[in-house]
Amino acid sequence: MNLVHITASQAAEAIRAGKMTSEELVGACLGHIAAIEDRIGAWAHLDPDLALQQARDADLARQEGRALGPLHGVPVGVKDIFETTDMPTEDGTVLHAGRQAGQDATAVALLREAGAVIMGKTVTTELAVYAPGKTRNPHDPERTPGGSSSGSAAAVAACMVPFAVGTQTNGSIIRPASYCGVVGYKPTHGLISRHGVLQQSRLLDQVGVFARTIEDAALIAEQLMAFDDRDPDMRPRARPKLGETVADQPPVPPRLAFVKTPVWEHADEETRRAFTELVEHLGEHVGPFELPEMFNDAVTWHRTIMEADLAKSFEREYARGKDQLSATLREMIERGQKVLAVDYNRALDQISILNSMLDALFDWCDAILTPAATGEAPIGLESTGSPIFCTIWTLCGTPAISLPLLQGASSMPMGVQIVGPRGDDARLLRTARWLSSLTST
């Protein structure tokens, strides 16, 4: 077996059993990266010597009989907005060039605790907003990989690492996962700590993962779901048993609600046709559902919150270097500076109302079926594509996952997004695995 094609779960098991060393796996990944990185551009920082030293330390720990974590010796890519003690964190902007945080973000510390090898920092768009970095889509280098977690999605899709972490404030996990043909999972808001991660919007920022299988996404995310009182939106709770639940069959076949959302007109004709065929294939397992009229304003409310929060979070960058920001980000910050407090608070108030409406829907179904993106990854590298099919779910903080189940006319991947109720992530991932199995038959 080519080691770069191994899943995270397979790698962890093989290393634990002594069938493979971490150094062998990391060395294979580094060799593969060296061969294709010029074409893909997934990495903002990569130190092969540091990666190999971590792998050797992991192998020594096993040889000495020390306790091994669930991800022991497995390499991971980390989006370059997560602070790391031993690597720069530059946030995709020249304004933070050479920045050394001196500490690990909580998510990075938990990855190390689980035994993972921090391979390097993956490319992010400028301050994790819209202006693209250097990354290209591994399936077609003339197309965008999506953003803002561009490098993380591309690195997993190109088999540079078995898994990677990223963030989503609008569509930055689900959309690049769809474009790059990998699994992208954004948990319920507040399940993974954002301490030590670049803040755009406390209300909207959410940490997520990229992997090549649903089982891997569950394994990785579960390690990150430890309570951290430094994130004000986390609450003490037991870690969800994602891996254990995903491995089980649903007690009864799940029921899905096919939701076009109020932005259906943004879907490509090809996407509409593909979802019509998918719904027909699923038959009695899915039924159409139209969201209440109130959801028509969700994109506007999200934009109000996001742009006002960008103006606050990036006040220093704007003040000392606005000429070095992209025109797009500069304009978003300037619009955010003009948002009235009454409009901001009104937008905040809608989140709980929207979620109460979704709760009523989830009394009827197990999960929502909807597009992950408007279509295939667009040709061109000037933009990262539209996140509009993710916006509602990010605003509501619901868990969502993109599954690489469809293919467009240009043979590019297209993701299927399924969304679950807040806090019921394990059941959502189990439903995702059931759906993936059903569509592969």
Q: Are 73 and 115 in contact (CB under 8 A)?
A: yes
326 is catalytic: no
Q: Which residue has the tokens 């003490």?
A: 236
108 three-state secondary structure: helix
How far apart (Å, rounded) are the C-alpha atoms in residues 399 and 386? 20
For the stretch 305-333, what's the b/e string if a residue is b when 16 or more beta carbons lie within 10 angstroms of its beta carbon? bbbbbbbebbeebbeeeeeebbeebbebb
Among 22, 148, 152, 386, the one annotated catalytic: 148
Among 9, 22, 79, 436, the one annotated catalytic: 79
Token code pair at residue 245: 């639940």
Residues paired with residue 369 on neighbouring β-strands, in sequence order:
258, 418
Task: Find how far residue 272's CA is from the centre of its chain.
Answer: 24
Angle at 76 between CA 72 and CA 77, to 5 degrees: 165
Signed CA dihedral, 223, 227, 233, 237: sign only: positive
Among 172, 193, 201, 436, the one annotated catalytic: 172
Q: Are 396 and 422 in contact (CB under 8 A)?
A: yes
How far apart (Å, rounded) are the C-alpha atoms in residues 217 and 182? 10
User: How many DSSP H helices and E strands does the chain contain?
Assistant: 15, 11
148 is catalytic: yes
β-strands 117-122, 75-79 pairing:
parallel
* Catalytic residue ranges: 79, 148, 172
